[in-house]
Structure 1
């Protein structure tokens, strides 16, 4: 089933297009693949990036929209990604980057397209664990910027995932939040015997 990719805000897309059109921005990017690319580059597949800052004991975990990520395609594959961020003046280009999350995101999206349920792809970052997941939100009518984690949603950890969490294995929200709660809860201090 095709994924229902929400449209990115027009200013976010324009900021990425302007950065791609700027030889200075591309040359100064820390992405050797992007600097060496031949032919046209295009920003595709905009995904809203949400941040999970904490997991609540009740299992409801608020997220906040942190930006939009565009896969930068050159030829047949994604070479890099471009992040945008919300500033007081609106959406602005943040940076280009490459690394393992590019291929991992593409792989997870290919698997998601083969799933029988319609969903809206998003990215969910868990900064405390240096973890990124593909968030498959079931409400395809949301605009991408809104919508909390819902029980029917799936989270697919991207590689590299933290130790003990399998990459590319879909998890129901409650299942993965339980694992994250254990990881994010500080261990009690042990007292030495008196």
Structure 2
């Protein structure tokens, strides 16, 4: 496993990694859905629903225990990340995204704290690899590399330089070839649309 992923945790308990900065990382709750969707609209804009990665998330539930939020001191959602079960040629992996932070909290370490906690929880649950589409220099800090996805494709257009992988277990992506397919549990309800909000630039995973 990449040595940058070091935090072990008690599942489903808030993590006070960012408490000194005024936020904590917590498991997402059903009541967080509307706040999460509004945050994603602010950070990424309504076009986010047309991204290629959305085809792997549509109609599916996030991987068990791997939907996280960052909360401020008042409990408000200021960041979100979710991971999804996918597979290629029978090899399982997680697809990470969207990872987004409220524009007013960007630069405060919220995104990094969410990512580290998500990876730690993935390790604790026995997952072997994580794949995402995002800013390569940013995610390289956490061990992600485009070399690990060279044999993989997405069900739509993708910038290969932003198509990144991380093995949590050595060799976890050995034998993974071809197009990634969704493999998680299907959602029992349709997503409720939310009104788009002002779009501001953000560093995030799609």
Give the TM interval when normalised to the shorter protein: under 0.3
Larger radius of gyration: 1
Q: Report the TM-score when normalising by structure 2.
A: 0.27
Give the structure with the larger strand fraction.
1
